[in-house]
Amino acid sequence: MTRQTIDSRNVTDSVYIHGSDPEEQRRLSTLNAFMNGPSLREINVQPGERILDVGSGLAQLTRAMARTSGPNGYVLGIERDARQLAEAHRLAKEAGEDSIIELREGNAYDPPLRDSEWGTFDLAHARFVLEHVPDPLRVVRMMLRAVKPGGRIVLEDDDHEVLRFHPEPPHFRVFWDAYVETYEHVGNDPYVGRKLISLMHNAGALPTRNTWIFFGTCKNLSEPLFRAAPVRKRDEPRNSVRADCLPPYQGAECDQGGSTKKGGKNGDRKDSLCIQPFRAATMRERNEPRGFSPRDLSEPGAQATDTSTPSCLDASLPSCLPYSIDNRQSSIDNPIDTFAAAVSNLEGIIRFSRRDIVDPGLLDAATFDAFEREFHEWSQLPDAALWYAICFAEGRKSPTDALSEPRP
C-alpha cells in the first residue's frame, strides 16, 4: 500500500510508516533482541496456553511465547505484510523453530481465523500495532472476541511524547514533532499508549493492570541479552520469583510445603515448590551488571549442567525453563551494548522517516539534515542518555461473557 494522506484513503486501512524492506527488517530484529525479555516477563505466558499474536511481524516474540507455552500450547501469529511474513518463516526455519508456531497472512481488523477458533484463545497479544491503525478500538474488540471467557488481552504500545534525550540536540524537538505528525498525517495515533486501558474498557474487557516497560539507555551501558523469562503461576504474587530459577545463594531452603525457611543453601529436592519475594540483592550478584537478573537467562531447550543449581520444583510443574551455568556465564561475558542498539534503531527511524517528513513539508530538508548531524554528535557524548518507556496494559474477558458477537 502506498503512503497517502488520510483524506485520500479509506480510514479502515492501516499504514505502517516504516515499511518492510531488508534494512527495516534488520532494525526490527535488533529491536526485538533486547525488548523481548522485558515483554515476556510482563506477559507471563503460562504452559499450555493458546495464544493469538496480532501483528506478529518477524515473529521473534511470537516464537519466544511459543517456547514458554511449551509443547501443549499453541501460538498463532497474524501478519499482514507478505515480506515480513516471508522473513518470519525464514528466521523460524533458520532457528529450527518453524514447527512451534503457525503464521497466517491477514490484517488486525479481520484476521483469518476459522469459525471454530473464535473464543478459544487464552491470550490475545498485540505490540506496536495500535499506533499503526486508524481504528485501534476495532482491533481490541476483535481480540476480545478471539479469547475465551476469562481469557487475557495484552497490549503494548507507544506514547511518543515520552521520549527524552539529554543533553538534548538543538533540533530534536522540531524533528520529533514532525515525526509524530507523520502518524497523524495518515490517520494513526502516536499517543495511543496512554489510551490502552480506555480502549480495553470501551471494547468491553475488564482492565486489570497497567505498567511501563523501560526502554531507556545511556552511553557505555552494556547488559546481558535478555532470554526467555520464567513463568509465574497465576496465584503467585507479581513480585515473587521461583527459587529454582536463581543461582545458589545462602539463606533459603525449600520445605515440603513449598515455602522457604531460613538457613543453609537451597536444597536439591525436587518434591516441593519454592517461592521467594523479589529482592535486588538476591537477584543480582555484586559483580553482575545492573539490570541483570538470572530469571532472564533461561535458554530455550537448555538443560541444567551444574548440580549446585537449586531445584525446588516438581518436574511436572515447569515454572521456568532450565538454564545452564555455561549459558549464564556466556550471557554475562558477552553483553549487548544497549546504547549502540538504541542508537542504531533511532538512526533507522530518522533515515526511513525522511521522505514522510520532508516531502509533505512537515520539516524543511536543511533542518532535517541538521538534526541528523546533531544526533550523531549526541551519540558520541560521554553523558548521552535516552529515556523512554513502552506502555503495557492487561485486561480480561468477563468469565460470563460468551462469544455473543458475530465474527467480524
Domain ranges of the chain: 6-225+386-396, 232-328
The three cell numbers locating residue 296: 532472564
Burial (CB count within 10 angstroms: exposed 0-12, middle 13-18, buried 19+), residue 231: buried
Are the C-beta atoms of residues 140 and 112 closer than 8 Å to each other? no
Quote the pLDDT of residue 35. 81
DSSP 275: E
Neighbours of 235 (CB within 10 A): 5
How far apart (Å, rounded) are the C-alpha atoms in residues 162 and 179? 14
CATH of domain 6-225+386-396: 3.40.50.150
Are the C-beta atoms of residues 363 and 342 closer than 8 Å to each other? no
Under DSSP, is residue 207 helix (H, G, I), strand (E, B) or coil? strand
Would you give per-residue pLDDT tens digits along the chain (408 residues)?
A: 233 333 333 334 554 444 455 666 566 666 666 688 889 999 999 999 999 999 999 999 999 999 999 999 999 999 999 998 999 999 999 999 999 999 999 999 999 999 999 999 999 999 999 999 999 999 999 999 999 999 999 999 999 999 999 999 999 999 999 999 999 999 999 999 999 999 999 999 999 999 999 989 999 887 654 443 445 555 555 544 433 333 332 333 333 333 333 333 333 333 333 333 322 223 333 344 444 333 333 334 433 333 333 332 222 323 333 222 223 333 444 567 889 888 988 998 999 899 999 999 999 999 999 999 999 999 999 999 999 999 999 999 999 876 545 444
- What's the longest Cα–Cα distance across the chain? 70
Quote the pLDDT of residue 327. 30
Quote the pLDDT of residue 290. 41
How far apart (Å, rounded) are the C-alpha atoms in residues 55 and 133? 11
- 321-332 in b/e form (b: 16+ CB < 10 A) is bbbbeebbeebb
Angle at 217 between CA 289 and CA 247, to 5 degrees: 25
Angle at 148 between CA 242 and CA 151, to 5 degrees: 35
DSSP 299-356: PTT-----TTS---S-TTS--S----HHHHHHHHHS-EEHHHHHHHHHHHHHHHHHHH
Q: Across the chain, how many H-helices and E-strands are there?
A: 10, 16
Q: Give residues with Cβ within 8 angstroms of 365, minimum separation 6.
A: 358
Among residues 282, 256, 278, 277, which one has the least CA distance to residue 267? 256
List phi, psi (to 5°) of 244. Answer: -75, -5
How far apart (Å, rounded) are the C-alpha atoms in residues 287 and 290? 9
Are the C-beta atoms of residues 395 and 43 closer than 8 Å to each other? no
Q: Give residues with Cβ within 8 angstroms of 267, minimum separation 6.
A: 253, 254, 310, 312
Distances (CA, A) of 397 to 48, 147, 191, 224: 19, 7, 25, 36
The three cell numbers locating residue 145: 472476541
Distances (CA, A) of 392 to 38, 188, 217, 326: 11, 19, 19, 33
For the whole prediction, is pTM greater than 0.95? Answer: no
